[in-house]
Amino acid sequence: MHAVIMRALHSGTAIGRAPRGLDELRATLEREHARLPEAHWDLLKVSDGVTAYGGYFRILGAEELMDWNAVDAWKFAWPPGLESYFCFAETAWGDQYAYRRADMDGPGELPVYFLESIMLAPEKLTETFVAFLENDSFEIHIVRTTISWSRRARSSVIWTARATSSPCHRR
């Protein structure tokens, strides 16, 4: 398994679970003519998903992947096109990390896309799953996203406080 994940699991900065559901996931992906990168399978063989940063970031386990990516689970409530992404990780804010389904049926590496939680518009983050795990910019990306959301939340609280103190909201 990849050194970044192993260090995180061994140091206690990430929490894993016993592997399970691999055969069912593999069968489901084969029926859909889809695949995961070998490095992603390697992770799932060591740990059925990973939770890090105190629960802020999570890579989904084998049993969760198919349920989370079912169109009727949550994607139906978002703009069309989201079903063309296979989400495999998320933040506590609802940001998604995904593979593009069109890439999952052919050979080669799978780029990782970031879908920010408000619009879920895809942005290519890295060229491979390994680069996603290794890239120093990943941690910077998590921190940047957290700061961005913190600012939005603070602005929202200030806006809400102003809006509710206006004469229109007084009784």
| Structural domain includes residue 156 | no
Within a domain: residue 163?
Answer: no
Task: Judge if pTM exceeds 0.95.
Answer: no
Contact 100, 84 (CB under 8 A): yes
Residue 43 lies in a domain: yes
- Total structural domains in the chain? 1
Question: Higher model confidence: residue 135 or residue 18?
Answer: 18
Residue 161 lies in a domain: no
Give residue 121's domain range: 3-135
Closest CA to 68 of 92, 46, 48, 96: 96
Residue 78 lies in a domain: yes
CATH number at residue 49: 3.40.1580.10
For residue 146, is it within any domain? no
How confident is the model over 64-122, as pLDDT tens digits?
998 999 878 998 888 888 899 999 999 998 999 999 999 999 888 999 999 998 888 89
Structure token pair of residue 54: 């105190």
